[in-house]
Structure 1
Amino acid sequence: MASIAAPAPSKAARVRQTVRVARDRCERWLEAERDQLVLWLPVMLGAGTAAWFVLPQTRDWIVALLCAAAVAAGAMAAGRGGRAAVAVATAAAMVALGLTLAWTRAERVAAPVLARPVVATLSGRVVRIEPLPARELTRVTLDRLRWQEAPDPAPVRIRVNLPSDVTPAGLTAGATLGLRARLMPPPAPAVPGAYDFARVAWFDGIGATGRGFAPIAIVSPGASDSGVRQRLTTHIQSRLPGSAGGIAAALATGDTGAIAEDDAEAMRRAGLAHLLSVSGLHITAAVGIVMWLAMRLLALWPRLALTGRIPLLAAALGALAAIGYTWITGAQVPTIRSCVAALMVLTALALGREAVTLRLVAVGALVVLLVWPEAIVSPSFQLSFAAVTAIVALHEHPRVRATLLPRDEGWARKLARHLAALLLTGVVVEVALMPIAAYHFHKAGLFGALANIVAIPLTTFVVMPAEAIALLLDVIGLGWPAWRVTGAATDLLLWIARTVAALPGAVTALPQMPSAAFGLMVAGGLWIALWRTRWRRAGIVPLAVGAAWALLTPAPDLIVSGDGRHLAWRDAAGGLSILRDRTGDYMRDTLAQGAGLDGEPALLSDTPGARCNRDLCSMERIAGDRRWRVLATRSGYLIPTTLLIPRCAAADVVVSDRRLPRRCRARWLTLDRTALARTGGIAITFATARATTVNTAGDEHPWRRTGIDYRPSSPRRTPGITASRAASSRHPASVARPPSPPQS
């Protein structure tokens, strides 16, 4: 009897079979990773929050919300309740929640922002005082403002810098201060990739910033004293002068104003700047010192020791120490974040659970993002959680955990194992933090891991305990020996910073990396850190792609500040020059960082290939098989149009801080006051004929719409940033390739 062959499956059946197999494999993988799935909740919440900051317009936010809702609904409908469907739906819901939280938070903190620079006479209540003795300034935040002639709109909260020689004596929080000040709207980044103070000020409710000048007087006094924090800072600086006292004050109160700028820069270049901002390291040290002392002292009471409650009481005292330390240091958001994490660790210890796990880190990140969603774009949030995640993920790895387990061995082998663990941890943390530092600060340290191996134990086990003992002994006037130890340890810390910062190649400067490259590296790092099966290795792909993309991104050839007064020019040899001979340190550093230069830029007037006089500078260079010509004004004097217009027509790019005549048009970009008001600062790469702008066309983020008396109930229509004089698009901006200039 002949057998009948089974019919071949149809194409649709094969597709269904393939989908079924893939779904089953995904289910098995997620089942193996079920303990890790909860770690992705803050990641997806942060992704949604970051999407709100990246997407420029309201319609984009609405579309993103609808897409997230569609993905969640589609996953549940197609997955039939499987683990993969629940995971995808939950992830999409968290993305939508993060975007909604960021949007509503920005609306909730809305406050009027100054429209244009003004000189005003006003009075206001002192909310915060930040002495900056190294800069001979006092920074004061004021609210409850009363204007002699109120601008329209009138900010309700401002921040002004007062020169030390005119700051009234006895100024305390709560006082009413009368002054005359030059105010301006919170500035946007001067160039692409620079610090965005306008965004920070928006979430802090600051509507203007500026500088006060005489007459400055206290209209009505505030508190009877300067507060615990200020008194403590003054006391520490009186015991330890100079930068040593500034560092000691920073460790105790978070006040870094007394640290000399050269020493602060050395700390940054050596990768030790994190020691100057109160963070998890400092709170951990404070809690550890208090718990250690409490357990030793409470153990002297035999009846209490026999109850076994000493660790619980020590944890309670440690919690009080964490809360008190956070209050003394000003209760800033990063400090509150570290305090919350410390309290969670103490709670876990009290419950008999493992103290430090990735789940605990995830809960801490989740709490912070729910309360302060804007923290997702903050370097401090990214750096602190990246460091903690890297450390915990490393020590949870089975091989690392097995290697570091306590064992019966000689002291030499034990010391070597601990030093190796410390070095490995430092290297892993340095690698984890390098992309974040490069993205925000345009610098990557090479010896930071080695410096931290010595500096962190020195700070944690010598400087902070000695300083705490000195402060306690000062109550009875016997603190000077402890202050001697504190001063010597702090001087050693400064010596380490200066030595490491002076090493050749200690810091590598990088130009602004694309945001997409940074996102790929973050995604790859999280994939590697949070999963446990072999699929975690797949995170190497986006990590490598993002790193290669960032390293291969060329440095810009021309950087122009948002006001048109300053520019940086890269010559054919790779050197960087700036337009104006008199340029402030801040703008010099900003232009150098944007161009990926670690050092001082030269003057354009001294650069070969540039021709400058008192009023104009013209530059030429060949890039992308073209000769590019740039013309820039450099004085406030009027230039005859008969001279200026022909030069504009011969240039590919014209830059000016004034409004140029209508007939003064470059062949490609005319960047005068009107055009730069739309685009903001701009960075141009000639080889690819691309430009990156600070502003995005039609950006509807509220801090980009200055001069609006912002109220949530009022309609908001923002004029788009057009490309009438300088083409711009979403960051990174893409500008149409110009017509080929004639060769010479």
Structure 2
Amino acid sequence: MEWASAPSIAGSPLPLAARQINAFLAAAHQKIELFLDAQQDQLPLWGAAGLGGGVALWFCLQGPVQWQALLCLAASAMLAGFLLVPGRSGTALGWLGLTVAAGMGLAWGKAEWVTAPRLERPVIAQFSATLLLAEPRAADGKLRLTLAPHDPKLPPQVRVNVDLDAAPPGLNDGAELRLRARLAPPPPMALPGSHDFARDAWFKGLGAVGKALGPITVLRPAPPSGLDGLRDQLDRHIQQALPGPAGTIATAFVSGNQNAISKDDADAMRRSGLAHLLSVSGLHIAAVVAATMFLSLRLLALSERLALRFNLVLVAAAFAAAAGIGYTLLTGAQVPTVRSCVAALLVLAGLALGREALSLRLVAAGAVLVMLIAPEAVVGPSFQMSFASVATIIALQSSAPVRALFERREEGLLQRIARSFGSLLLTGLVVEFALMPFALYHFHRAGFYGVIANLVAIPLTTFVCMPLEAAALALDAVGLGHPLWVAAGWSLDLLLWVAHRVAGVPGAVAMLPTMPTAAFAAMVLGGMWCCLWRGRVRAWGVVPIAAGALAAVLVPVPDLLISGDGRHVALVRAGRPPLMLRERAGDFTRRLFTESAGFDGDTGWIEDEPGARCTLDACRFTVGRDGRSWHVLAFRSAYLAPWTDTVAACANADIVIADRRLPRGCSPRWLKLDRQALARSGGLTIRLGNPPVITTVVDGVGQHPWAS
């Protein structure tokens, strides 16, 4: 099929302009064909990207009308590519349309499939239930219980928090309990751009969350059994052998249990960029698999008979696979761990078959497998950051300049060490910059000195901490593990020292207010362009990355943050602590508001602001923007003021905020946000400018099932 074939109209040739357009299209098509021919090995990677893009678009778009429109557009692209556009470009377009549509269908279908009953309104109920999962959270002093109530009036699964001090013995999986609790629907997204707990609860099948009231009665205890029992025994054993903060980190490495880690240590690990070490994922699985394969291969090679009769690489890979699967099950088979285990198994399969052990195709295959099982993971930070880091490392190490600079060669010991250190430093820097958009988008913060901390912490963890722990556990069987536990404690204390030192450096953390999704998407697409193509064309990915970064940095800080229940209001000033309305706001609420404001620190209080006038019932304050003064009235007590006083106060304010229903006569000059209005909008942010801009939670959540 020739694009340049010029048909005639009424026996005469096409006009000159039409012939020029036809020639331009033919030349463009030919260039695209040449480009795709040169990049044919990379095209399957874009199929995985299309699948993930379809999943992400389903979560980002508002509702069924837009989902159906995108499905029609993807189907049209698929049909046009396979039937109308000739050559490899048509095939690529067709597969892209097919994968995007498949991703949309996966996400939509999974959301409908996991539909479960939810509470409509808060209730206080006394009920018996089967304990499905108990998760101690020592940093918060809580025990989180996932229960299956026996009462048919309650949802099939609920989650209840219990004070650790009040938890009775025997709270093991499978136990029968009786308790009294206050239950409520899963909380919606608190502020635009914050984490959506309702979405998580929807895909986990949780229909209510709450807090236990009074003592819990264990009707039928269930002793720990199976892997859960082994995990509990390991946790207790490690805590006894290595008490203190080092023991809590050691427990996280072995069993994946982070709940005993103190708040200060967890915050230091997060601020220093080392929090990924606490989650059993790629680094831990790789260490276990690599160590098992190395040891088994060395031990098997000692036997000449085995070495001559069997493919020892294949046998060692089988042992390593068994170790990886066992470690994944032992640590609770969380999504990041399963994802890392799948990737490790694919690497082992490649080694056993004599193929390239680590490639972008391997990463793409692992991503597709995870998306088929749990498409909702695509919009989570764990999925995004783990695959982004691995893809960045592979793309960097496969580039010609980097290979030429850091490939092995005949040289002295010092030169080899310097070259290896340079490769590690460059890889750390590139990965840190690659992960920065994800950290800023999901957590509103990114560490500046994470590269330096990881240069010390990753080798320390991989080659010192984890081997010492494994050896100590093995020698404990014969009572000789104590010296190794002491050494492991020293290494873990060093790890914590690095985390606290880096976290305490001024400017260690960069904060950013809520990033627009479009800016984040531009940076992600640019990063994928840099990783998935080969050659100089990669450089064009810098354009969307720079555009997205510029859009994210230039986003103005909102002036007011308001929670969906109207109880919490914050006045935001750029570079200064946000000021909260209520002094009794909890730690979680204050942290949520400081992150959304892009401030690294604690909050202040509106009543301390010069010019603010506060009583026990309400606060009046003024916000000046673009030459205009906005007068805000925020109620903060449950007491009803006289009707005439309320109406008069509203008339003198531009914005009125309350967590209760205000009388109809309350008419502020611009905006009234009472219980009824906030029920329709959810939490919101307000930027007072010319014109003022309001962003609501409802706008972001749209018509997804968990929003109803």
TM-score range, shorter chain: over 0.9
- Choose which of 81, 89, 100 in structure 2 pairs with 1:95: 100
Distance 1:28 1:230, change over 3 A: same
Structure-1 residue corresponding to 2:415: 413
Structure-2 residue corresponding to 1:732: none
Structure-2 residue corresponding to 1:695: 698
Structure-2 residue corresponding to 1:120: 125
Structure-2 residue corresponding to 1:133: 138
Q: Is the 8 A contact 2:576 2:599 kept in 1?
A: no
1:39 positional shift: 0.7
Distance 1:413 1:638, change over 3 A: same
Structure-2 residue corresponding to 1:174: 174
1:307 positional shift: 4.0
For the pair 1:86 / 2:101, whether they are aligned, the reply is no
Bigger mean CA deviation after superposition, 497-506 or 243-252:
243-252
SS in 2 for 1:160: strand
Structure-2 residue corresponding to 1:51: 57
Percent identity between matched residues is 51
1:422 positional shift: 0.6
What stretches of structure 2 of length at least 5 have no aligned partner?
1-11
2:96 counterpart letter in structure 1: A
SS in 2 for 1:190: coil
SS in 2 for 1:214: coil
1:243 positional shift: 2.4
Structure-2 residue corresponding to 1:730: none
Structure-1 residue corresponding to 2:404: 402
Mapping for residues 144-223 of structure 1, pairs under 5 Å: 145-147=149-151, 151=153, 154-223=154-223
For the pair 1:244 / 2:250, whether they are aligned, the reply is no
Q: How far apart in 2 are the matches of 1:237 and 1:635?
A: 46
2:667 counterpart letter in structure 1: R
Structure-2 residue corresponding to 1:725: none
SS in 2 for 1:631: strand
Q: How far apart in 2 are the matches of 1:462 and 1:86?
A: 50
Structure-2 residue corresponding to 1:426: 428
Structure-2 residue corresponding to 1:638: 640
- Choose which of 295, 298, 301 in structure 1 pairs with 2:300: 298
Bigger mean CA deviation after superposition, 399-408 or 357-366:
399-408
Give TM-score scaled by structure 2 length.
0.96
Number of residue pairs the alignment of both structures matches: 694
Deviation string, structure 1 residues 285-332 (Cα, Å, up to 9, x no partner) = 111121122122222222213346222211111100110000000011
Q: How far apart in 1 are the matches of 2:629 and 2:561?
A: 18
Structure-1 residue corresponding to 2:6: none
1:137 counterpart letter in structure 2: K
- Choose which of 308, 312, 317 in structure 2 pairs with 1:310: 312
SS in 2 for 1:317: helix
Q: How far apart in 1 are the matches of 2:309 and 2:621?
A: 81
1:572 positional shift: 7.8
Bigger mean CA deviation after superposition, 394-403 or 543-552:
394-403
SS in 2 for 1:513: coil
What stretches of structure 1 of length at least 5 have no aligned partner?
1-5, 706-744
Root mean square deviation of aligned Cα: 1.6
1:9 positional shift: 5.8
1:439 positional shift: 0.2
Q: Is the 8 A contact 2:469 2:488 kept in 1?
A: yes
Q: How far apart in 2 are the matches of 1:146 and 1:96?
A: 40
Q: Is the 8 A contact 2:170 2:223 kept in 1?
A: no
2:286 counterpart letter in structure 1: T
Q: How far apart in 2 are the matches of 1:323 and 1:156?
A: 30
Q: How far apart in 2 are the matches of 1:134 and 1:622?
A: 40
1:575 positional shift: 4.3
Structure-2 residue corresponding to 1:75: 81
1:502 positional shift: 0.4
Structure-2 residue corresponding to 1:63: 69
1:472 positional shift: 0.9
1:571 positional shift: 4.2
Mapping for residues 573-652 of structure 1, pairs under 5 Å: 574-652=576-654
Q: How far apart in 1 are the matches of 2:489 and 2:119?
A: 45
Structure-1 residue corresponding to 2:3: none
Deviation string, structure 1 residues 327-366 (Cα, Å, up to 9, x no partner) = 0000111111111111000000000011001110111111
Q: How far apart in 1 are the matches of 2:613 and 2:346?
A: 63
Q: Is the 8 A contact 1:528 1:536 kept in 2?
A: yes
Q: Is the 8 A contact 1:140 1:162 kept in 2?
A: yes
Structure-2 residue corresponding to 1:733: none
Bigger mean CA deviation after superposition, 573-582 or 27-36:
573-582
Deviation string, structure 1 residues 9-40 (Cα, Å, up to 9, x no partner) = 61111110110000001101111111111111
Structure-2 residue corresponding to 1:370: 372
1:77 positional shift: 3.5
1:272 positional shift: 0.4
1:646 counterpart letter in structure 2: A
1:432 positional shift: 0.6
Mapping for residues 533-552 of structure 1, pairs under 5 Å: 533-552=535-554
SS in 2 for 1:696: helix
1:574 positional shift: 4.5
Q: Is the 8 A contact 1:469 1:479 kept in 2?
A: yes
Mapping for residues 374-393 of structure 1, pairs under 5 Å: 374-393=376-395
Deviation string, structure 1 residues 698-729 (Cα, Å, up to 9, x no partner) = 93211111xxxxxxxxxxxxxxxxxxxxxxxx
Q: How far apart in 1 are the matches of 2:397 and 2:700?
A: 46
Mapping for residues 317-332 of structure 1, pairs under 5 Å: 317-332=319-334
1:469 counterpart letter in structure 2: A
1:128 counterpart letter in structure 2: L
Q: How far apart in 2 are the matches of 1:219 and 1:24?
A: 74
2:600 counterpart letter in structure 1: D
Deviation string, structure 1 residues 213-262 (Cα, Å, up to 9, x no partner) = 32311111224556111221121122222321111111111110110001
Deviation string, structure 1 residues 542-601 (Cα, Å, up to 9, x no partner) = 111100000000111100011110111024884421111111000000000000010011
Q: How far apart in 2 are the matches of 1:352 and 1:575?
A: 58
1:190 counterpart letter in structure 2: A
Structure-2 residue corresponding to 1:494: 496
Structure-1 residue corresponding to 2:277: 275
Bigger mean CA deviation after superposition, 504-513 or 648-657:
648-657
Mapping for residues 445-464 of structure 1, pairs under 5 Å: 445-464=447-466
Give TM-score scaled by structure 1 length.
0.91
1:126 counterpart letter in structure 2: L
Q: How far apart in 2 are the matches of 1:615 and 1:404?
A: 67
1:473 positional shift: 1.1
1:593 counterpart letter in structure 2: E
Structure-1 residue corresponding to 2:7: none
Q: Is the 8 A contact 2:182 2:211 kept in 1?
A: yes
Q: How far apart in 2 are the matches of 1:573 and 1:135?
A: 29
2:704 counterpart letter in structure 1: H
Q: How far apart in 1 are the matches of 2:380 and 2:251?
A: 24
SS in 1 for 2:213: strand
The structure showing larger relative contact order (alpha-carbon pairs under 8 Å, at least 6 residues apart) is 1
Q: How far apart in 2 are the matches of 1:219 and 1:452?
A: 48
1:604 counterpart letter in structure 2: I
Structure-2 residue corresponding to 1:110: 115
2:150 counterpart letter in structure 1: R
Distance 1:697 1:282, change over 3 A: closer
